[in-house]
Every structure is written in C-alpha cells, then in structure tokens.
Structure 1
Amino acid sequence: MKIHQLEVEDSFLITPEVFADRRGTFLEMFNQPAFREAIGHPLSVAQVNCSVSRRGTIRGVHATALPGQARYVACAQGAIVDIVVDIRVGSPTYGRHVAVQLSADNRHALYLAEGLAHGFAPLTEHATVVYLCSSNWSPGTEIQINPLDAELALPWPREHELLLSDKDRDAPSLRECAERGLLPAYADCKARYAELNDYALT
C-alpha cells in the first residue's frame, strides 16, 4: 500500500496493491500500521457512511467544524471524481483544490484531514461510495460550500443535468463563508493534527 500527499496539504491518495487471479481480485482497503506511519497517528473510525449516486449528481462541498471529521473515502462500485478543497484560513494552499478519480477498477482511496472540505460526482451511471469517518455526525457542525462557486471553478463533469440537494445549491461561496467566520483556521487545524500525533505517542 502506497500513501502519498497530494497538492493540497494534508490530503493523501492511497494506492493499494491488488492481487488478481482467475477467481478475481483481493486487496487491503485500509491498513492501520501503514496509515499511522504515513499520517502520524492512527485513524479512529467512529462512523462508516455509504452513498449511492447517479450520474449528474454532485455531493458537497462539505467539511465539519473543529475538532472536525477526517474522512477516508473509497468507491466500491462505478467511478467518481472526488475534489478536495483547502478551506483552512491561512493555509499556504487556501482556496486550492485537487481532483482525484476513485473507482472500483483502480481501488484508490482518499484521506482528508480535519478542516479540509470535499465533494464528489459519479463518472459512471451509478457509483457507490464508502467513507470512514473519524467522528460521528453532529447537527450544527457541518460547513457547506456551494460546489458551483465560480471563484473555485471546480472541475465537475458537465455532460448531464446537474443534480444537487437544495442545501448544496443554496450554500454560500467560499468567500462568503470566510466573511461570515464559518471556516476553520489553518493554525487551529495544525494544532489539532499535532494533538492527534502526540496522543498516538502515549
């Protein structure tokens, strides 16, 4: 299993080794020792979510207020583009995004640390996405950013009519979220990562 950091700091692409034979394939979707070595602390899984989406759907862009919710995302069926957005005020990569393709064929996974936002869209007629969450969903903590924010200019597929929830379609832009004080601070996120790393050493 290979884990390397993407262009947005504190987001990582996980590339597992896939073993294939005439019966099919086998792989490790998650390996705690490998994850801990790459990230600095283990992934504590509090909740596992699964969504099934049809082509044209955009889910996101979402994050969670600190202490936050880290996510480990994989596509079990079909294919998606998952877009990570750095919304941490003061970050060297603030406002930047990185898009990765996750699919049932490549078996890649994506990890994004607390404070980062992401959204995804199917590249196939249907896609099933499974993601491990470091904390449980808590009402009132979600940060929602409009996925069609013109300033972000995220590279969503445009071949089909876009399907968004009302909450996502009506969500504010990144600039508006910043003006309202809704975004996490880069320094606070880094302090949270250091806290997790220190706890892992005890």
Structure 2
Amino acid sequence: MEIEELGIEGVHLVRPQVHEDTRGAFLELFAAHRLAALTGRPMNVAQVNCSVSRRGTIRGIHLTAAPPGEAKYVTCVSGTVIDVVVDVRVGSPTYGRSLAVELDDRRRHALYIAEGLGHGFAAVSDTAVVTYLCDNTYTPGTAISINPLDPQLALPWPPVTDIILSDKDRNAPTLAQTEALGVLPRYDDLRTRTPARAHG
C-alpha cells in the first residue's frame, strides 16, 4: 500500500497493492495502522456509507461542521467517479483550492480526506458505487453543503451534458455565502483541537 499526500494538507491518495490471479483479485483496501503510520492521522471507523449513482450525477460538496467534524476514506467499488476535494477551512493556506482524482474499480485507489474539507464526486460510468468509511456517526444538524457549481470555485468536474443534482445540492449556497454564514471550520481550530491529525 502506497500513500501520497496531494496538494492540499489532509488529502491522501492511497494506492493498494492488487493481487490478481485466475480467480480475480484481492487487495487490502483499508488498514488503520498503515494510514496512521504514514499520515500521522489516526482514523477509527465509526460508520460506513454507500451510494449508488447514475452517470452524470454530482454529489457534493459536503462536509460536517467541526465539532464534531468527520474524516472520510472514500473508494469506488464499482464503476468510475471523478472525486473532488476542496479546502474550505477558513484561514488555511490552500483555502478555496480544489483537486480531482479518478477513483475506479480497476486500480482500486482510495482517498483519505481529513475533517474540515469539502468533498463530492461525479459519476462518469453508467453506474458508480462509492463507499465512505467515516470516523464519526451522522449527527443531525451538522451537515454543510456548498453548491458544486459555484462559478468562483470552478471545481474540476468532468464534462457532463445532463447533470443530475439533488435539490439540496442545486440550491446550496456558494462558498462565499457559506463563509458569511459563519459555519465553516477554521483551520487553526482544527490544528489545535486535533494536533495528531494536523501534522500529516
């Protein structure tokens, strides 16, 4: 398993070793001790979510208010998605910056996304099944949604002719509007509150 931090602090690409033979394939998809050792960010899985999406669906941008916050470990177990992460931690040196990674059922890569970062994805196969390992359980009233089509963010979505969005995502505020509401996590608060995670 190889783990690489990408251009935003707290976003790590995980490349598992896939063992293939005549039966198919086997891989170690998640290993908490390896993740903690290589990133300095321990993750205790509290909840596992699964979504099934049609081609053209965009889900996001979502995060959980901190506290309680929520880190995610995301992989596409069937199909292909373009996974997008955006730094929405107020005061972060990369605030507003985003990155995109293709996740699919061939290479079996995963993304570790630290708490305080916005996340979403676009399904580019006919059907895409995405699983999220989360280090916190869902807490009503803590979900934050940012409009995935915010023109100022200009997120790196793939070309999609017929975008499918939930009403919640379509009507979500822009990043600037969300910041004005005062609900976004603060970079310095996250580093102070969870120092073991903040130095990955």
What range describes the TM-score normalised by the shorter chain of this pair?
A: over 0.9
Deviant stretches of 4+, over 3 Å: none
Counterpart position of 1:135: 136
C-alpha distance 154-128 of structure 1, shift in aligned 2 (>3 A): same
| RMSD, aligned α-carbons | 1.4
Please state if 1:159 is matched with 2:160. Answer: yes
CA distance in 2 between partners of 1:41 and 1:87 (Å): 19
SS in 2 for 1:130: strand
| TM-score (ref. length: structure 2) | 0.95
Q: Which consecutive unaligned segments of at least 5 residues does structure 1 have?
A: 198-202
Distance 1:19 1:92 in 2: 39
Whether the aligned pair in 2 keeps the contact of 1:56 and 1:157 (CA below 8 Å) is no
Measure the CA separation in 2 of the matches of 1:159 and 1:127.
15
- SS in structure 2 at match of 1:60: strand
Structure-2 separation of matches of 1:192 and 1:21:
46
Return the letter of the residue paired with 2:160. Answer: E
TM-score, structure 1 normalization: 0.94
The residue correspondences of 1:5-16 to structure 2 (distance < 5 A) are 5-16=5-16
For residues 75-103 of structure 1, give each alpha carbon's deviation from its aligned partner in whole angstroms, at most 9, with x where no partner exists: 00001011000000000100000100110
8 A Cα contact 1:16 1:27, kept in partner: yes
Q: Secondary structure at 2:195's aligned position in 1?
A: helix
Give the paired residue count: 198
**Contact 1:55–1:160 (Cα < 8 Å) also in 2:** no
The answer to whether 1:30 aligns with 2:30 is: yes
Q: What is the match of residue 46 of structure 2?
A: 46
Letter matched to residue 34 of structure 2: A
Please name the residue that 1:182 is paired with.
Answer: 183
Cross-structure match for 1:101: 102
1:173 matched to which residue of 2? 174
Change over 3 Å in CA distance of 1:195–1:7 after alignment to 2: closer
Cα displacement (A) at 1:42? 2.5
| SS class of match (2:34) | helix
Mapping for residues 114-129 of structure 1, pairs under 5 Å: 114-129=115-130
